[in-house]
Every structure is written in C-alpha cells, then in structure tokens.
C-alpha cells in the first residue's frame, strides 16, 4: 500500500464495532491488526532516551542515549537528525513501528521532574531540534511522536491539573515547538497530555486538536492519548483524539459504539480516526505485505559506542574554568563522589531503558589512563535502590536476578518466573495483571552489612535467615501510575543476608512496580567527607562529581528545591578548602544550586550522559574532545529566583501567570534576580572575540553576519546566538537563530545566522491572528549575560 491507498475502501469493509476496536490499543504497547483489510499489528515503544521495547523492566538491552538536555546542549540540528537515525535503527532492531518521542514540552519551572526528557526552555531551539530528530527517525519508515500536547510542564497532580494559559502564551511558547516540528517534519503521531488546558482535558481539546493542529496546520497524523489519559468517550472522540492508549481496556470500546448509535458521535468521525490509523500503518509498513526490518548495529557495538560518546561530549557545558580544564594528563587526581561511582546516566520513569552496559565516571577515568584515587561520596538518595542483578541469584537456577511466583486468591501458585532483573512491572504483557500475592526470592551475595528491603505497594513480609520484617507500603498520589513510576520503598540494615524471601499481598491494588533491595550498607556522611578531604589534600586536582538522581529527575514527581540532595554541598566545600585545585562535575540533566561556586576552579556540566557516560566525561575532562555545549535552560541563583517557579496547583489549577516570560525571557525583563548562568552560556575550551555584526537582510527572517576570532591556543567551536528584542514592554525577548562555527587558534571565521521568521510574530488575542513584528533590535550574544553586538531593525 502507499500514501495514495484508498483508505475509504478499506474502512467500508469494516462494521462499527470492528472500526472502534482498532481505536484502543490491544495491549500496553501494541495495536491490533485486522486481517480482513491487510492491517498488521503495530508496536510502540518509549521513548526519548532510548527505544526500551515492549517491556517496562527487564527487557532486552537497548542503547541508552545521552538525555535530551545534553543532546540539545550542542545546539546542533545535524546531531539531532543523527540521533533520530540511530533511534530508528534501535526501533528497527526491535520491530517497533513508532517511537514515543521526542518530548517537546518546555522547561517552564526548573522544579519540573521531567525536564530531563525535554530539550529546553526555548521554543525555537526545541522545535528546530525536534523537527530534525523527527526527520531522522521517519526517514527509516519508523514513526516519531511529539509529546505531550500541550502545556504539560510539570508532574504534580498531572492527571487532574488544570493548566491555565492565555492564548498569546500558548501560541508563542507552548504550541510553537509543535507548530515548528509539524511544519518542518510532519511527525506521524502526536500524544495528547494528561492535564487539562483552560478547563478542558487535553484529550478533548477540539480547538487545539482539531481546529489548530489538524486544521490550521494541516497535520494529517494520528493523535494518541498519553497512557490512561483519556477521560471520556464522546468528548474525546469528537475532540480530535484518534487513539486511546493503552489497551485492551479503556473508555472507548462499547461506550463509543453506543455514543455513535445515540448520535453523539458521527460515524464519519470514527472513519476519520481509522483513516489516520491506516495512514500510520501505511507509513510504517504495517498495511499490506508488512515490512522488512533492516539488520542494524547492536546496542553495544563499537559504532554505538563512538556515536553515543561523541554526542554526549558535544552537549557538555564548561560553566566556569580558571584554566584547570582540560586536565593535564599526568595530573594526580582524587576522584570523589557517589556520582563518580554510580554515575546517573538516565532519569526515571517511562524514559528508562535497560542498557547493555553503563559506564561510570570512575570506569571512564580508569579506561582513559587517568591516575586517580577514587573515593565514594556522601549518600545522595532517600530511597534504597533495587538490587543490582550481579549481587542476587535465582535460588533455583543460580542465574543472576530473582525468582518470582504469583498466587491467586486461593493461595494457589499460578506462575513462576526467573527474572534477570530485580524489579518487575504489572504493565508487562508476559506477567499476570492481577495476582493476589507475589513472592520474590533470591540468594544475596553482598558481603558485610547489607541494606535489605522491598519496593512496591502492598503488605510485605521479608525474611532473611531467622529474621523477619513486615511493612505495608502505599503511595500518596492521585497519579494512577505513581506505584509504577515512583514506588514506595522500605529497607533496613542487616549484618548479613543469604537466602531472602519477600512476600507481598497486593489486596485490591493492581500490580505496579515490585522489587527487591539488596546492596552494601551506606557509609556515614561524616566519614565519607573525612576520606574525601584526605584524598583531596594529597592530589594535584580534586574532581568532585555531584548531582541529582532519579529521585529528582523523574516522571510523576516534581522537585521542591534545587538544592543538591544529601550533604553534597558540604562535601564540595570541605574538598575545596583543602585541595590545590577543585573541579566539579555536575551530573544532572537540570539546574541545581551551587553555593560553593566561588570556591572551586572549574565546573563542567555533564548532563545525564547515557551508557557511554564515563568515557564521555573522561574525554571532555582531558580535552580529547571539546565539551562545546551551551546551556539550554537558565540556572537560577537560588530557590524561587526563577520567573516561573510554582508547580503545585491551587484548587486544581496551575496558572501560568508569568505569561510568556519564562527562563531567559523573564530574567531579561527583570522579573527575577539574574540567573547564575543564562541559557546559551558555555565557555568550551576556546575564547572568542566578536567583530561588529552586520545585518545582511531584514526581510521577515533577518540574516546577521559576524566575524569571530578564536583567541585561544586551541581549536574550538563557538555557537553564535542571535536574540530578537521586539518593541513594547508586553513582548518578550526571543532566541531568533544561531550558527555554530569552528576555528583554529588565532583564526577568524564568519558566522552567518538566518533568523526564523516564526519568532517575529506576535499573537493578537483580539483578532485571533498573528501580527508580524517590525522594528526592534537584534542582539548577538553568548547567552544574554554576555552580549557582544547589536543591530537595529527597520
């Protein structure tokens, strides 16, 4: 079949029930086929940092990419397209038709738990990167999915929150990345968000879904719901939603058939949804003969290692540097911090994958031949982690992982599985959905004192040797996915553990995430700091790795503070007080506070760098590759000092009262104390002088040319940024374009920046139409904290 296939003829062969059956998923991540019309099953997979496959946990290994904020840190649309191409290969390897990404919500408040999945606080940067990513994915016949339409910038009460956003702000900020990506790359699917927007569920937004996206923008793809986001039958079917996910249950089915029969939904509306489904199937090769899947490199192939390491370094940002970076290769280093040993290479929630391996910074330093004394840091988590598969064995088979059995309400063992992982999830199609009792057992091989515990909602009895513990765990959240995405955890320290059995009675609860905790007991923070100080005093350079964890950077939860968890600030201060030189590596996707910034000699922001993380950080620190990234979001100076901060709804509403003035737009307008670092900031390892910029053309999309000179002794890459300052206090400053250039030491090169016409518009609420902005000024800058030139417009 082809794009020109006559879908109407196929649809005419189906009765109403058969059509409606296709409009809800068949399982958690698949869609039903229909042999009578040659429609094959389709498979969907998350997501933004790797193609996880159909299982939530314990699936086949998949390549773990640098997280989105790190990828976008390169400000490189070619790299975004390359990432899309690799994502498509990962999908093809697993026979996946649609990848559920990119996430293109904006970084509104820095507290948003899920910002690590999304590119930036700026809509143009987000839209431009997304468009090229989508082009990369779809060139291989795999669908991409823009998510989440729209105004889904925080996680608190995400299923019920009513986000109040004025039309100007919606158009100029939150819809703009979707508009750019639709116009420039025609994504085959979009996902409608959990939240309400201006009193109406995102899945029911006739105005946004039908009139703007499908009408005004002419988008012909399929709009699916976020998982369990659909709240109704007729209003969502009429409101532009084409597909309910997941399945097989959901609010459509018989209720939608009845709504059609009752005249609440026209059958032509159903046909339109099926048309879009068939178009997706056609595009992804699931209509007619079915598709051939290419042979592609494995997730641990040398090709992937090279790509993922290179992409990670390109986005890393040198925030400050007195010259200590790049490190001298013979420097005697003290490498300090929990994140040095347990590097956070990904965030939490549906964006997680099971990588083939994941290199820590300590591994990376060792592999690069850096002579380092490695010292574990202070504890950084409140909750204990699931056991590593290497330290637990199935007591029957002796294989790494745990053994689980499921019992029904009569206590009869229904199924037994041996799992290579130490957690399991009820969403996974190969596990029973509603067992009454689950038993997890393992032989624990940790020596010395053991942190032992359980993960997941239910009433637990944990037995280890002759010790037995009971606990009942629950979640306090309205998010039905909270038990899966942020499960409760209980643990204790025992002097030794051998054969361990954990039995959970689920009661009425459906099975979400369950797991076993087993690992070496954590050391006391004071002792860790004392060890770090000793090692730092003896080294030439102390490299302290600090950061956030999946307790902050996760789906389903927001942060309450930007302060580093645990006593990491104390650790940095103590080390900086004794070390000759102190370098801090920031291992987080999003900003945190740096009260010790003035005490240290360099800060390298390394993002959450994916499976090649340790190697990438080592290459950046040694200068084998330049960490030439620029920030994609502003770093606030203190808690609350951000133009948009609050993420907790009041009476069910979260009002975007700052309007379009988020991030740098708000700082520039003086709506918050100046940030610690601006969007666009990043030093690389070069230094640059700018000549006066010249306006080449000032038509709708102005073009600016500026000569820049690399005044450093190293070859370097510069990202020349152009911002548009419109006339009028109601208008916000906008990133209007950028260009990256490379230059040898002493070399002068010309950067030519063509601005994007879509930011020279203002949404006129009265006329409900765009108005082209004229006049104003263009700023040439390295982030708005470092403006290097100005030109006036018209």
Site for ligand BGC in 212-231 (CB under 6 A): 226-227
481 binds ligand BGC (CB under 6 A): yes
Q: How far is the CB of 226 from ligand BGC (least distance, A)?
A: 5
Q: In the bound complex, which residue of the shown chain has the CB atom lying closest to ligand BGC?
A: 350
* Tokens standing for residue 136: 């990369």
Residue 150: is the preceding peptide bond cis (ω within 30°)? yes
Burial class of residue 494 (count of CB atoms within 10 Å of its CB; 0-12, 13-18, 19+): buried
* Range list of H helices, 540-659: 568-578, 613-622
Q: Based on CB atoms, which residue is closest to ligand BGC, 38 or 480? A: 480
Q: How far is the CB of 44 from ligand BGC (least distance, A)?
A: 8
d(CA 443, CA 423): 15
Q: Which residues of 263-298 are buried (b: 16+ CB within 10 A; e: fewer)?
A: eebeeebbbbbbbbbbbbbbbbbbbeeebebeebbe
* Tokens standing for residue 46: 């998350």
| Size of the residue set binding ligand BGC (CB under 6 A) | 9
Q: Based on CB atoms, which residue is closest to ligand BGC, 47 or 565? A: 47
Q: How far is the CB of 484 from ligand BGC (least distance, A)?
A: 8
Other CB atoms within 10 A of residue 211 CB: 13
Burial class of residue 3 (count of CB atoms within 10 Å of its CB; 0-12, 13-18, 19+): exposed
Contact 426, 418 (CB under 8 A): no
- Contacts of residue 100, defined as CB under 8 A and 6 or more positions apart, other chains included, come to 44, 45, 46, 47, 48, 145, 147, 191, 350
Strand partners, 436: none
d(CA 103, CA 92): 20
SS3 274: helix
Q: Which residues of 32-64 are buried (b: 16+ CB within 10 A; e: fewer)?
A: bbbeebbbbbbbbbbbbbbbbbbbbbbbebbbb
- Contacts of residue 340, defined as CB under 8 A and 6 or more positions apart, other chains included, come to 360, 361, 362, 374, 376, 377, 543, 545, 585
Q: Based on CB atoms, which residue is closest to ligand BGC, 130 or 759? A: 130
Q: How far is the CB of 168 from ligand BGC (least distance, A)?
A: 27
Residue with tokens 């738990």: 113
Site for ligand BGC in 622-651 (CB under 6 A): none
Q: How far is the CB of 383 from ligand BGC (least distance, A)?
A: 20
Q: How far is the CB of 147 from ligand BGC (least distance, A)?
A: 5
Q: How far is the CB of 52 from ligand BGC (least distance, A)?
A: 8
Q: How far is the CB of 785 from ligand BGC (least distance, A)?
A: 33
Select the residue interacting with ligand BGC from 147, 393, 615, 717 (CB under 6 A). 147
116 binds ligand BGC (CB under 6 A): no
**Distance, first Cα to last Cα, the chain:** 52
Residue 246: is the preceding peptide bond cis (ω within 30°)? yes
One character per residue 43-82, x = contact with ligand BGC (rule: CB under 6 A) = ---xx-----------------------------------
One-character DSSP codes across 37-68: GTBPPEEEE--TTS---S-SSS-S----PPPH
Contact 343, 358 (CB under 8 A): yes
**Minimal CA–CA distance to 153: which of 125, 195, 189, 182?**
195
Strand partners, 458: 473
Q: How far is the CB of 100 from ligand BGC (least distance, A)?
A: 4
Catalytic residue among 34, 46, 196, 226: 226
Site for ligand BGC in 8-47 (CB under 6 A): 46-47
Select the residue interacting with ligand BGC from 205, 350, 549, 721 (CB under 6 A). 350
**Minimal CA–CA distance to 64: which of 608, 604, 428, 553?**
608
Select the residue interacting with ligand BGC from 96, 100, 419, 781 (CB under 6 A). 100
557 binds ligand BGC (CB under 6 A): no
Q: CA angle, corner 324, sides to 319 and 325, nearest 5?
A: 60
Other CB atoms within 10 A of residue 652 CB: 10
Q: How far is the CB of 365 from ligand BGC (least distance, A)?
A: 34
Q: Give yes or no: 599 in active site.
A: no
d(CA 673, CA 666): 10
d(CA 308, CA 330): 27
Q: How far is the CB of 422 from ligand BGC (least distance, A)?
A: 21
Residues with a catalytic annotation lie at 226
Kindly list the residues in this chain that would bind ligand BGC in the complex (CB under 6 A): 46-47, 100, 147, 226-227, 350, 481, 555
């Amino acid at each position: 079949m082809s794009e020109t296939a006559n879908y109407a003829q196929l649809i005419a062969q189906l009765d109403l029930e058969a059509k409606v059956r296709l409009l809800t998923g068949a399982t958690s991540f698949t869609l039903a086929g229909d042999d009578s019309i040659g429609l094959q099953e389709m498979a969907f997979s998350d997501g933004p940092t790797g193609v996880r496959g159909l299982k939530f946990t314990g699936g086949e290994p998949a390549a773990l990419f640098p997280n989105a904020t790190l990828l976008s840190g390169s400000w490189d649309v070619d790299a975004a397209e390359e990432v899309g191409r690799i994502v498509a290969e990962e999908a093809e390897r697993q026979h996946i038709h649609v990848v559920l990404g990119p996430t293109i919500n904006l970084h509104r408040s820095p507290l948003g738990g899920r910002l690590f999945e999304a590119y930036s606080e700026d809509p143009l940067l987000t839209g431009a990167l997304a468009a090229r990513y989508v082009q990369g994915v779809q060139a291989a016949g795999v669908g991409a999915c823009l998510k989440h339409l729209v105004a889904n910038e925080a996680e608190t009460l995400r299923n019920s929150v009513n986000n109040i956003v004025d039309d100007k702000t919606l158009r100029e900020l939150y819809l703009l990345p979707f508009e750019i990506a639709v116009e420039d790359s025609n994504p085959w699917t979009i996902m409608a968000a959990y939240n309400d927007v201006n009193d109406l569920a995102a899945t029911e937004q006739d105005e946004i879904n039908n009139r703007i996206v499908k009408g005004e923008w002419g988008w012909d793809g399929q709009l699916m719901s976020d998982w369990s986001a659909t709240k109704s039958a007729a209003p969502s079917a009429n409101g532009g939603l084409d597909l309910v996910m997941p399945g097989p249950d959901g609010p459509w089915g018989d209720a939608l058939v009845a709504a059609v029969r009752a005249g609440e939904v026209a059958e032509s509306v159903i046909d339109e949804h099926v048309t879009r489904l068939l178009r997706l199937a056609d595009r992804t090769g699931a209509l007619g003969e079915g598709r051939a899947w290419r042979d592609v490199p494995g997730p641990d192939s040398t090709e992937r290692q090279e790509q993922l390491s290179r992409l990670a370094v390109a986005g890393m940002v040198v925030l400050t540097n007195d010259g200590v970076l790049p490190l001298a290769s013979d420097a005697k280093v003290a490498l300090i911090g929990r994140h040095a040993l347990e590097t956070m290479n990904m965030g939490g929630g549906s964006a997680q994958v099971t990588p083939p391996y994941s290199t820590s910074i300590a591994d990376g330093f060792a592999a690069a031949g850096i002579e380092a004394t490695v010292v574990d840091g202070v504890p950084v988590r409140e909750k204990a982690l699931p056991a590593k598969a290497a330290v637990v064995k199935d007591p029957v088979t002796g294989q790494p992982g745990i053994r689980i059995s499921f019992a029904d309400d009569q206590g009869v063992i229904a199924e037994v599985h041996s799992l290579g992982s130490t957690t399991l999830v009820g969403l996974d199609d190969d596990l029973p959905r509603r067992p009454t009792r689950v038993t997890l057992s393992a032989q624990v091989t940790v020596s010395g004192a053991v942190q032992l515990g359980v993960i997941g909602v239910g009433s637990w009895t944990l037995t280890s040797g002759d010790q037995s513990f009971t606990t009942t765990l629950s979640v306090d959240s309205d998010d039905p996915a909270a038990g899966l995405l942020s499960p409760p955890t209980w643990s204790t320290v025992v002097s030794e553990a051998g054969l361990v059995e954990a039995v959970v009675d689920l009661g009425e609860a459906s099975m979400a995430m369950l797991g076993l905790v087993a690992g070496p007991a954590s050391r006391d923070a004071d002792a860790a700091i004392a060890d770090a100080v000793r090692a730092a005093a003896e080294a030439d350079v102390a490299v302290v790795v600090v950061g956030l964890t999946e307790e902050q950077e996760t789906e389903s939860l927001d942060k309450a503070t930007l302060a580093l968890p645990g006593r990491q600030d104390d650790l940095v201060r103590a080390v900086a007080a004794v070390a000759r030189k102190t370098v801090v590596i920031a291992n987080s996707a999003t900003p945190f506070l740096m009260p010790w910034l003035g005490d240290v000699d360099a800060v390298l922001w390394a993002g959450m760098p994916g499976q090649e993380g340790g190697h990438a950080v080592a290459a950046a620190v040694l200068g084998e590759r330049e960490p030439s990234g620029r920030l994609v979001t502003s770093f606030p100076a203190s808690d609350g000092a951000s133009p948009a901060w609050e993420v907790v709804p009041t009476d069910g509403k979260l009002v975007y009262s700052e309007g379009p003035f988020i991030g740098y737009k708000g700082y520039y307008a003086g709506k918050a104390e100046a940030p610690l670092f601006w969007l666009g900031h990043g030093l690389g390892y070069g230094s640059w002088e700018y000549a006066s910029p010249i306006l080449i053309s000032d038509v709708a999309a102005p073009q600016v040319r500026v000569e820049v000179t690399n005044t450093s002794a190293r070859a370097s890459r510069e990202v020349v940024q152009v911002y548009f300052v419109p006339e009028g206090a109601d208008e916000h400053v906008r990133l209007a374009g950028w260009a990256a250039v490379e230059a040898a030491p002493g070399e002068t090169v010309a950067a030519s920046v063509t601005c994007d016409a879509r930011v020279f518009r203002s949404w006129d609420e009265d006329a409900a139409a765009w108005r082209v902005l004229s006049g104003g000024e263009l700023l040439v800058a390295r982030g708005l904290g470092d403006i290097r030139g100005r030109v006036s417009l018209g």
